[in-house]
Amino acid sequence: MKKKNKVGLVVGIILIICALIFLGVIIVFNMNAKKDEENVKEDIKKIVADIKKSCNKEYKRYIIKNGKSDTVSDVYSVKNAIFETDTECNVTYFYTHELITNFIKKEVKMESSSDTFTSLKDNGEVIYYNPVTNKTCSKDSDGCLKWYVFNDKDDALTSTLILDHNIKDTAKYEVAESLLKDLTKDYVVEARLLNLDDLKTLLGKTVKKEDIFFDSKLAKPLKSCYKGDTSNCKYGWLYDNTALNCKDYGCLNNTGKDINGYWLSDTDGDKAYRVYKDGRVTLTSAIEGSTGIRPVIEVAKSISK
C-alpha cells in the first residue's frame, strides 16, 4: 500500500513539473511574440516616416516580401507588406496581422488598412478598376475598366486581374511586350502578359505544345462547352471579347473586332502561345496577324475587395 502511495506521489510530482515546464514555454513564447510585435510597430513607424520624406506627390507602391525590398532601404522586422502613397502623400499600409493593423489605425493614423485577407475571390469574379488612379470605380465612369480576378490566394497581399478585352486588337508577338509597356505607361501598377504558369495554377495542369481547352483540360473540348452547346463553360471570362463569334464557343461577350485571341508571354522556337477564341491555349506562329494584347496586373487586396 505504501509502495502504491509512493508511486502516486512520484507521478503527481512529475505531472506538476511537466505542467510548470509547459506553462513556462507558453510564457516565453508570449513574451517573444509581444517583443516581435513591438519591433514591427516601431519599424512600421520608421518605414512610413521614410516614405513620407521621399514622397513626390504621385501614386507609388513599395512592396516588402520575405523581409526584402528593392524600394524600401531598411525593412527591419517587417516581413511581408505593401505601402502605397497617393498624390497627397497619404500612406496606406497593408500587413497580414490583425494586431498590427489595429496599431496602424490608432497610432500611425493611416487612411485605410487591412488585416489578413480572408475574402477569397472566385476565378472570373468581376472588378471595376481604374489603373491610372489606382481605385475601384463605377463601370460607366471615365477611365473605368472591367477586370476578372483569377488564381486568388488567402495569404496573398494582392489580387491578380486580367482585362476583359484587348488593349491592342492585333500585333505580332515580337512587339507585344513593348507595345504593352507603352499602352500601359500611365498605369500605377505594372502590366504584363498572361503566362503558362498562370494557366498551370488556374487549370491544375501543365500546358505543353498541344492545345488545351480550358473546361475539359484536354486537347479536345467538352461537348457541353463548344459550338452548339455552351451550357457548361466555366472559363468564358478567360477568352471574353476574343472574336466576333466567341460566344458560339462559350465566351461571355463577342467583340466588335475581327480578331481571334491574345498573346501569352511564352514561346517555343519560332512559335508563341495564345488564348484562342474557342476557349483554349494554343501554340501558333509568332507572326500570326489576328492576335492581340491583353494586360494582367496585380492590385492590393484592400483596393480590390
**pLDDT at 103 (0 to 100):** 42
Report the range of poorest mean pLDDT among 3-7, 223-227, 246-250.
3-7
Choose the final residue of a domain: 91, 114, 137: 114
Per-residue pLDDT averaged across 65-83, rounded? 71
Q: What is the 3-state secondary structure (H, E, C) of 215-234?
A: CCCCCCCCCCCECCECCCCC
- The whole-angstrom separation of Cα 268 and Cα 156 is 31
How many Cα atoms occupy the beta-carbon half-sphere of 246 within 13 Å? Answer: 30
Q: Give how many domains the chain has, as a whole number.
A: 2
Q: Which three cell numbers stand for residue 9?
A: 506521489
Q: Could you give the CA distance from residue 136 to residue 138 in angstroms, rounded to a whole number?
A: 7
Residue 276 pLDDT > 90:
yes
30-34, 113-117, 210-214, range with the lowest pLDDT:
113-117
Let me know if residue 211 belongs to a domain: yes
- Indicate if 283 and 170 belong to the same structural domain: yes
Distance from chain centroid for Cα 71: 19
3-state helix, strand, coil in the chain (%, to 5): 30, 25, 45
Share of the chain above pLDDT 90, in %: 52
One domain, residues 92 and 205:
no
Residues 159-192: tens digit of each pLDDT: 999 999 999 999 999 999 999 999 999 999 999 9
pLDDT of residue 63: 76
Whether residue 125 is contained in a domain is answered as no
User: Cell match 512610413: residue?
Assistant: 48
Task: Kindly indicate the confidence band of residue 211, based on its pLDDT and cuts at 50, 70 and 90.
Answer: very high
Same domain, 175 and 66: no
- 46 — pLDDT class (breaks 50, 70, 90): confident
- Is 135 inside a domain boundary? no
Mean pLDDT of 20-35: 54
Q: Report which of residues 285 and 13 the model is more confident about.
A: 285
Distance (Å, whole) CA 253 – CA 256: 10
The answer to whether residue 147 is domain-embedded is no
> Within this chain, do residues 221 and 291 fall inside the same structural domain, yes or no?
yes
Partnered with residue 282 across adjacent β-strands are: 274
Q: Rounded to an integer, what distance in angstroms lies between the CA atom of residue 305 and that of residue 302?
A: 6
Range of the domain at 97: 2-114
Residue with the bigger pLDDT between 133 and 60: it is: 133
pTM above 0.75, yes or no: no
Is 108 inside a domain boundary?
Answer: yes
pLDDT confidence of residue 5: 58
Examine the domain organization and report whether 172 and 94 are in the same domain.
Answer: no
Same domain, 62 and 185: no
Residue 222 inside a domain? The answer is: yes
26 vs 39, residue with greater confidence = 39
Last residue of a domain, one of 114, 140, 175: 114
| pLDDT of the residue at 66 | 67
The pLDDT value recorded for residue 84 is 76
> Is the pLDDT score of 112 beyond 60?
no
Q: Residue 274 and residue 66: Cα distance in Å, rounded?
A: 33
